[in-house]
């Protein structure tokens, strides 16, 4: 099994268009923290009171401000029927004349595939034009591009240059990222940019943009980068248990806005268990740390190791670090051996997993496989899934996809969300021409509950049009979300999406 750590710095564009009008837009809803920053004042009269036909006439004659305004109205449906294709066309015309706001907005359109094909490279060019014009929001985004290592090669000096220019103009998010960049020479972003277009606008000034940066995250919950003493960490974990529900949902990646069948127990412990069962690596990592330290529960190092092992299987390399440290503690294997003699299925699963990961060589692969078989007899779900994966990938045993499906079905019947996700995904992949609503809804349901595996699977469906309409921009956003949480397959898929349309220009060559 691959254990090499993949580090990447990712961010997701979902920013509202900048409109020079007096109306409020409900097209983009505000989420999270935000602050307002003024746009450039228009150098040309706005068209708030102009009749639509006059606006169209001026746009046809090549007026970039009219073209930009017309595009905004088409995308928001103000005085015109909503039409994303026409919106993209007119904003592109204005962008071609290097109107900074139009360059910025067209970049957003390209990044999100609104009325045009998804094209992050053309988006980069337009963000760059807006940044070079002095627009601090674009300078901030351009700085982030230079640490992303997907569109252009990572270049910390260029990142610092653009972030500093944005920061000097008072752009708060740039200041935050610049501080982190200066301290660590790296940036890890969580759901980077989200924004709203719900602003108050007057006739005499341009609109205000609202953007937010949810915060920094280093491979899930960083526990202060392991610099805490044991006493401090226990206090820190205790505080997490007391964290308010909405904040904890955010940490655990539970999208309660899109999923309403929340658990009856909405306490911190209840939410952690709910997200862990759904397949959230963050929740599994937290649960493992809580069990290892005995925070509000009885200490249980075997169960803690079981949670670390499962979290790692979903991409948490921090969980692998904790698992390795725990397995190296005095008497850990004696404890495992003792628990196995008492038929503890969790202990069997953990030891087999340590062998599969190459963290232990006291057992052979065959002995590890036999432990999983033994745990299966006790209907131990994680062990049954591992048997399915062993047959599916050809680890610990010979590859046999039929047997793999049998084991996944067995686990699904026992209530395993992971098994249900895998089965739904396999069925969708094997039947690309069919519309399988039940399967795609299963993936979306568990993605909203925080399952990183489901998020990556939904991304694949949008990329290839499996029971949903092809949407490359949405696929890229979802791959980023899953990759940001450690899912290596999602990161590889994301890079392949970029490479498939990468222009043959020196600027876009990636040097690893």
What pLDDT, in 10s, does the model give residues 96-129?
999 999 999 999 999 999 999 999 999 999 999 9
Average pLDDT, integer, range 472-485: 92
C-alpha–C-alpha distance, residues 36 and 296, integer Å: 41
Q: Residue 296: what pLDDT?
A: 85
Average pLDDT, integer, range 300-328: 92
C-alpha–C-alpha distance, residues 443 and 459, integer Å: 10
pLDDT above 60 (res 505):
yes
Q: Residue 185: what pLDDT?
A: 59
Q: Residue 199: what pLDDT?
A: 27
Q: Across all residues in the chain, what is the average pLDDT?
A: 80
Confirm if 59 and 87 have CB atoms less than 8 A apart. Answer: no
Q: Residue 336: what pLDDT?
A: 95
Reported as a single tens digit per residue, the pLDDT across 32-50 is 222 233 333 344 445 554 5
Q: Residue 170: what pLDDT?
A: 92
Residue 258 CB-density burial (10 A; 0-12 exposed, 13-18 middle, 19+ buried): exposed
C-alpha–C-alpha distance, residues 291 and 293, integer Å: 5
Instruction: Determine phi and psi for 193, rounding to 5 degrees.
Output: -100, 120
Percentage of residues in the chain having pLDDT higher than 90: 57
Token pair of 64, please? 């970039």
Residue 157 CB-density burial (10 A; 0-12 exposed, 13-18 middle, 19+ buried): exposed
State whether residue 194 is helix, strand or coil. Answer: strand
Contacts with 141 (C-beta within 8 Å, 6 or more apart), sequence order: 13, 107, 127, 131, 193
C-alpha–C-alpha distance, residues 411 and 388, integer Å: 9
State whether residue 47 is helix, strand or coil. Answer: coil
Residues pairing with 195 in the sheet:
211
Tell me the pLDDT band of 210, cut-offs 50, 70 and 90. Answer: very low
When mean pLDDT is compared over 13-17, 256-260, 402-406, the highest value belongs to: 402-406
Confirm if 349 and 375 have CB atoms less than 8 A apart. Answer: yes
C-alpha–C-alpha distance, residues 486 and 483, integer Å: 5
According to DSSP, residue 40 is labeled: P
Reported as a single tens digit per residue, the pLDDT across 62-90 is 999 999 999 988 988 888 899 999 999 99
In Å, how far from its chain's centre is CA 18? 25
């Amino acid at each position: 099994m691959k254990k090499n750590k993949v580090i990447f710095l990712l961010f997701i564009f979902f920013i509202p268009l900048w409109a020079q009008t007096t109306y409020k837009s409900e097209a983009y809803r505000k989420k999270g923290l935000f602050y307002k920053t003024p746009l450039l004042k228009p150098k040309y009269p706005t068209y708030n009171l102009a009749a639509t036909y006059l606006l169209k006439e001026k746009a046809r004659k090549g007026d970039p401000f009219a073209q930009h305004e017309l595009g905004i109205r088409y995308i928001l449906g103000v005085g015109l029927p909503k039409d994303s294709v026409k919106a993209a066309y007119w904003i592109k015309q204005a962008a071609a004349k290097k109107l900074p706001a139009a360059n910025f907005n067209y970049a957003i359109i390209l990044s999100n595939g609104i009325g045009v094909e998804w094209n992050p490279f053309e988006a980069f060019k337009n963000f760059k034009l807006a940044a070079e014009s002095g627009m601090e929001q674009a300078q901030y985004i351009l700085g982030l591009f230079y640490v992303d290592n997907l569109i252009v090669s990572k270049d910390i000096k260029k990142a610092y240059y653009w972030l500093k220019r944005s920061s000097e103009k008072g752009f708060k998010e740039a200041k935050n990222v610049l501080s982190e960049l200066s301290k660590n020479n790296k940036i890890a972003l969580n759901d980077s940019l989200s924004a709203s277009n719900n602003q108050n606008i007057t006739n005499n000034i341009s609109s205000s943009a609202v953007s937010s940066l949810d915060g920094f995250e280093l491979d899930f919950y960083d526990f202060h980068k392991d610099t805490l003493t044991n006493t401090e960490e226990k206090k820190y974990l205790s505080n997490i248990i007391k964290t308010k529900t909405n904040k904890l949902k955010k940490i655990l990646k539970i999208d309660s806005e899109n999923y309403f069948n929340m658990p009856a127990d909405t306490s911190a412990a209840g939410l952690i268990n709910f997200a862990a069962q759904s397949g959230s690596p963050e929740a599994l990592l937290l649960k493992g740390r809580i069990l290892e330290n005995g925070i509000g529960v009885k200490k249980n190092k075997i169960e803690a190791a079981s949670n670390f092992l499962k979290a790692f299987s979903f991409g948490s390399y921090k969980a692998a670090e904790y698992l390795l440290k725990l397995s190296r503690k005095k008497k850990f294997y004696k404890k495992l051996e003792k628990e196995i003699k008492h038929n503890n299925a969790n202990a069997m699963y953990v030891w087999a997993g340590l062998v599969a990961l190459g963290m232990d060589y006291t057992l052979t692969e065959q002995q590890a496989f036999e432990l999983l078989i033994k745990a299966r007899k006790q209907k131990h779900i994680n062990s049954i899934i591992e048997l399915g994966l062993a047959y599916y990938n050809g680890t610990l045993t010979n590859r046999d996809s039929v047997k793999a499906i049998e084991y996944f079905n067995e686990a699904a019947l026992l209530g395993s969300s992971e098994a249900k996700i895998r089965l739904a995904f396999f069925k969708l992949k094997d039947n690309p021409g069919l519309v399988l609503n039940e399967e795609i809804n299963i993936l979306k349901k568990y993605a909203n509950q925080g399952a990183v595996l489901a998020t990556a699977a939904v991304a694949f469906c949008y990329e290839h049009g499996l029971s949903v309409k092809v949407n490359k921009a949405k696929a890229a956003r979802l791959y980023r979300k899953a990759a940001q949480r450690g899912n290596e397959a999602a990161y590889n898929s994301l890079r392949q999406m970029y490479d498939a349309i990468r222009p043959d220009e020196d600027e876009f060559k990636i040097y690893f």
